[in-house]
Chain A
Amino acid sequence: MAMMRETDARLLDTNRVAPLGEFGRILKRLNLDGPLLGGLLLICALGLFVLYSAVGENMRLLVNQMVRLGVALVAMIVLAQFPPDFLRRWTPWGFAAGLVLLVLVLTTGEVGQGARRWLDLGVRFQPSEAMKLAVPMMAAWYLHDRSLPPRFGQLLLLAILIVVPTILIARQPDLGTALLVAASGMIVIVLAGLPIRLIIALAVLSVPGAYGLWQLMEDYQKQRVLTLIDPNSDPLGAGYNIIQSKIAIGSGGLFGKGWTNGSQAHLEYLPERDTDFIFAVIGEELGLLGALSLLLLYMFVVARGLYIAMQAPDTYSRLLAGSISLTFFVYVFVNTAMVTGLLPVVGVPLPLVSFGGTSMVTLMAGFGILMSIHSHRKLLPH
């Protein structure tokens, strides 16, 4: 336990001057993690910068997004104040409530853009977003007291915990969120030590599984997969997004066409340029360098998250922190791979950059949990 002691000793040194001086002390008092916060704010700043161009230099929409960002930061700070133990105790209740809300969405939810995703509880709210956190929390909660790696029976139960909300969300239909929710749960299991053999077996089984999924998919979802395979088959229909997105990114070249100078974006060739396809605007206006810079910032945040996870003192915190960090990575990967035409168009926004509120609040809440895990370590009983 030498490593542990050493860490504890360092953390117990409350007089140790934080690298950022007075500001560092404020961060510490608010249970916030400086490097993580710094990375996130840089991403948000770059995001707002690009968004201003993507929404057609509309200041009102930009302010709108800044307000959302503020709300998300507040959610992050609030969640950072709850010790992981507290969160863990409330996890089963939160998960159950989430499931009830999902059922409510399917039966009474509001319809928007052909899907039933919203619930009006005073504020409009997507329960599926909350499940992005509730599912990995539930999986981590279940594994917290158990000896790892999990045994087969436990895995089965975990599978049910993950599959039920996933199917409920997929039925809305919201394939993108369903896949992310499933991924966040799966990541917990993999991090908990799912045997490598089983992972390989699952990968092999995914072939017939994919076929089954295909049968379950809605027509528009099938169309998305088909256009990925050959976007030029229907250049003005389903393949249009991908073609225009590739043109935007490709024509950006190394250094881009310059901020607010993207012709693809500004002449309305690029659909959903302020939401799911904003990465194409970055590629077009800021070029390869801009896109790589953003990816680098994302990787810094993921790395910091994984560092926090590795530093976490207990199973619940560790698994949850790992899942939150890696899910964030999945977000980034799925969106960028989709916009560059490597994956089907699944409707996953670029985290912290795409226009829109709900996913940003969820993400920041997740990072709040990460910060809480990091800052409350010394209080834990281990």
Chain B
Amino acid sequence: MDLLSPIKDHHSERRLFIARVALASTIGILLLGGVVARLVQLQVVDYEVFAEQSQGNRYRIEAVPPTRGLIFDRRGRVIAENLPAYQLELIPEQVEDLDDTLQRLAAMKLIAAEDIENFKELSRSGPGFKPVALKLRLTDEEIANFALQRARFPGVDFQPRLIRHYPHGEATAHAVGYVGALSKADLERLEQSEYAGTNQTGKTGVESGYEAALHGDVGYNNVVTNALGRRVPADSRDVVDALPDNVTAAPGEDVYLSLDLDLQLLATEALRGQRGALVAIDPGSGDVLALVSAPSFDPNKFAVGMSTSEYSALQNDLDQPLFNRAIRGAYPPGSTIKPMLSIAMLETGATNLQHTTMCIGYFSLPNSTHRYRDWKPEGHGEIDIVNAIAQSCDVYFYELSVDLGIDNIHRYLDMFGLGHRSGIDIRGEHRGLVPSREWKQNNFSGYDARWYNGETVIASIGQGYMLATPLQLASAIATVATRGERYRPRLVAASQNTVTGERTLYPPERLDDIRLQDESHWETVILGMHEVMQGAKGTARAAGANAEYQMAGKSGTAQVFSVAQEDEYDEDEIEFRLRDHALFVAFAPLENPRIAVALIVENGSSGSRVAAPIARAIMDEYLGYGDDAGN
């Protein structure tokens, strides 16, 4: 022991030490008591709260998209189906360099370079674990190529998916429409939660109109996920004892169209190479038997996704293949409205069966030298209403229209549904136009706001302001065929629950009938229309020849006043595009009619020569007298 240091009192030092140990132990026990109290608070007092939080942590609800319902024609032939396909997907959070990855995919021609920006935005907007579809349908070759390069693309892979497929492609494109990628606008329109797992929706036609039935109900899987939101493989699911039950997705309903695929294909072929549209309706139900717009497009391209340039090429095509002329195309109806006008003239007493007009090839209003020309320069001579319809005498209608007046013209055409949307069960219909004094007042100013008799004259041959869609004309002619019974046109006749197999037939929706004071006026007009096709002097007697059934029709020729985007046509082309549109409306048989048709061939010049044979072919086919009917 060092004797120079102060004396060490071992005994008191030891006592001091023990006192300090006691002090430290006391503090220690207090501190530890704090931890224990905390454990009790967390594990006993607040247990429920944390238990719930941990449960919420570990499972996530994952939406399961329902299988889209199929679409069949009226005889059960497949119009839209779902095919398995491999889809190229990118999981944003697994991709190291998004820009570089997309560039290299573009270099492999798996995506279009122009869409890179679009995909980048999509990748950044959603949760990182949600796959972004880069290409909806890979070819076998693309799959093979990508499989070789897979290691170079972490976060990119192909996955099996169901892809919408339309076996008859362009023939049904305008009626059935197509599905395409869900857009922001779609989500505003649709029930968001129902589309949690879906990435496509019906864009046009029946696919859009019957979206609710076709889509089905979304299902939910409760999946166990780790902190990164990634699914945990099934074998580690045992850490979770009680997950909420999964909800199975309810597949969408199958939809049965009123369309007849044979008619649809025939009409498509008949209009191939033309611009035009055809609508055929069952007059007794409003069933749309055919609805074709030409040129058409391949709806499968929308279903598998197309690049921006492919889409803009379609959009900028001068012939407007995406434009559904059958319901959106508003054309001057020309002489096809003469049957409806005849009903108006007979009913209002502007004319009767005995009344005749002397047609000298033109008509002038009193105190006017302006000549409204008949299509037949030498005139039809003395002519009554039946022959005026049969030979499409313009002068007869010019002359009587002044007595009839625009108010009556408007009132009767309105009853036939012209100037109104027909209410067909797909979206995008044009309402057409039947002018009236009121309409003119509202849309013009000054002198132009007045209605002039000259305008009534040209309205009587379906020119001037008047516009109608092929669908409206078909519906109006169907009303003539039924002698006043009107049905809302429809493309879908039934649906079928794919789980229960239960089939729901949609009853035809009958609209207000047209009741005439004298029902025989129908027969007068129909006789005139019958003469058109099967009379000695009918304008379309060539098209009506050699038929085994009786039919009625009316040709129309509509003047084209101007051509859009004129600078893009050369001289010959302008001349061609200024040629008259050829229209034809028809129905058959005369008694108990089963089909009414309206069609237009743009720049087809002559309704009776160009359009009427197509109408005849459609009626033959439907009534069982088609080319292959005898085979």
| A residues adjacent to B (C-beta < 8 A) | 1, 145-149, 187, 190-193, 244, 246-254, 257, 260-264, 266-269, 283-284, 287-288, 291-292, 295, 299, 302, 306, 309-310, 315, 318-319, 322, 326, 329, 332-333, 336-337, 340-342, 382
Contacts and interface: CB of A to CB of B under 8 A. Distances in A.
A191 B27 CA distance: 13
Contacts of B35: 295, 333, 336-337, 340, 342
Contact-residue bracket for chain B: 35 or more
Contacts of A291: 39, 43
B38 A340 contact: yes
Interface centre among A147, A247, A251, A288 (most CB of B within 10 A): A251
B224 A340 contact: no
Contacts, number: 160
A267 B53 contact: no
Contacts of B9: 147
B13 interface: yes
Chain B contact surface mostly: helix
Contacts of B17: 191-193, 309-310, 318-319, 322
13 contacts: A145-B8, A146-B5, A249-B42, A250-B43, A250-B51, A250-B53, A266-B236, A267-B225, A267-B226, A283-B42, A288-B39, A292-B36, A326-B28
Given A251-B47, A309-B21, A264 B42 contact: no
Interface in B220-259: 224-228, 232, 236, 238-240
Contacts of A263: 54-55, 57-58, 239-240
Given A146-B5, A247-B50, A269 B16 contact: no
A340 B35 CA distance: 7
A254 B21 contact: no
Contacts of A342: 34-35, 38
B44 A288 contact: yes
Closest 7 interchain pairs by CB?
A250-B50, A251-B54, A147-B6, A250-B42, A267-B226, A288-B43, A268-B226
B42 A146 contact: no
B151 interface: no
Given A145-B5, A190-B24, A264-B57, A333 B47 contact: no
B173 to A, nearest CB: 48
Contact of A261 (B39, B226, B239): B239
B40 A288 contact: yes
A247 B48 CA distance: 10
A147 B54 contact: no
B39 A333 contact: no
Nearest to B13: A148
A268 B42 contact: no
A326 B43 contact: no
Chain A contact surface mostly: helix
Contacts of B240: 263
B42 to A, nearest CB: 4
B49 interface: yes
Nearest to A266: B239
B85 to A, nearest CB: 33
A302 B23 CA distance: 14
A268 B228 contact: yes
B54 A329 contact: no
B239 A340 contact: no
Interface centre among A147, A187, A257, A263 (most CB of B within 10 A): A263
Given A268-B227, A295-B35, 10 more contacts: A191-B17, A191-B20, A191-B24, A247-B54, A251-B54, A263-B55, A288-B39, A288-B40, A309-B17, A326-B24
Interface in B118-164: none
Contacts of A190: 20, 23-24
A302 B28 contact: yes
Given A148-B16, A283-B42, A342-B34, A306 B227 contact: no
A292 B38 CA distance: 12
A232 to B, nearest CB: 12
Given A247-B53, A267-B224, A287 B43 contact: yes
Nearest to A147: B6
